[in-house]
Structure 1
Amino acid sequence: MSSGAMQSNVGNPQVYEDGDQRPHGQQFEGSPGGKAAQHSHDIHDPKDSLTLNNRKNREEAQEREADQKAESKTVTNPLAPAQHHGHEPSRGAQVDAELQAEDEANLSKKKHEKGSFGPNV
């Protein structure tokens, strides 16, 4: 009687099949510890192999980039977009500019009265 694995009645017969084995010529040619592809790490994936420190640094960098994008979209002078295109600013933009000028005047007045670090004692 032969002692082949397929003749066993113990366990799952799929365990003994060699379907997952490959010929020698079809092995992976790249180095196993090679460089990862770009964007292969997802910082929000808890199973990712990045260290906690690297993950924290990358998240902080993404937050800084998002803040910079938001700041670049902010209009500091409400009259600038219309004037840039050669148009007269709308009434709302003119009111916004007046309110902004009043706020800046009030803040500078308060800073002058209290000093830059609070009331003068």
Structure 2
Amino acid sequence: MSGNSNVGNSQVYEAGDQRNSKTSELGSDRFHEGVKNSHQGSDPKDDRSLINRAAAERQSSDPPQSEETRQLKQDPTLPAKMHGNEPSRGAKIDAQLQAEDEELLRKKDAKK
């Protein structure tokens, strides 16, 4: 009975169950786990300095636009026409409103 203790049989406890793994085995990838864009720029509890916040704001304020995006802003019916479909009613109304706004702006500029 030398193998028995007051808390149970020694065979119940395996060496791996009661030992902690070494820090060298854990690896250093733990510090690179962060997800991109996980910080919110408007978070008041964020520890970033004002300079870092200003730099991040400058980078995110004006992303470069593709040629398709620029054309879409000029003609809302363009995506449907590119795919060979008839533009939706909403796209037609948007194009009409945009044309009216441009006409009003040209009239205002002519008065000056």
Query: Which TM class, normalised by the smaller chain length?
Result: 0.3 to 0.5
Q: Which has the higher helix share?
A: 2
**TM-score, normalised on structure 2?**
0.45
**TM-score, normalised on structure 1?**
0.42
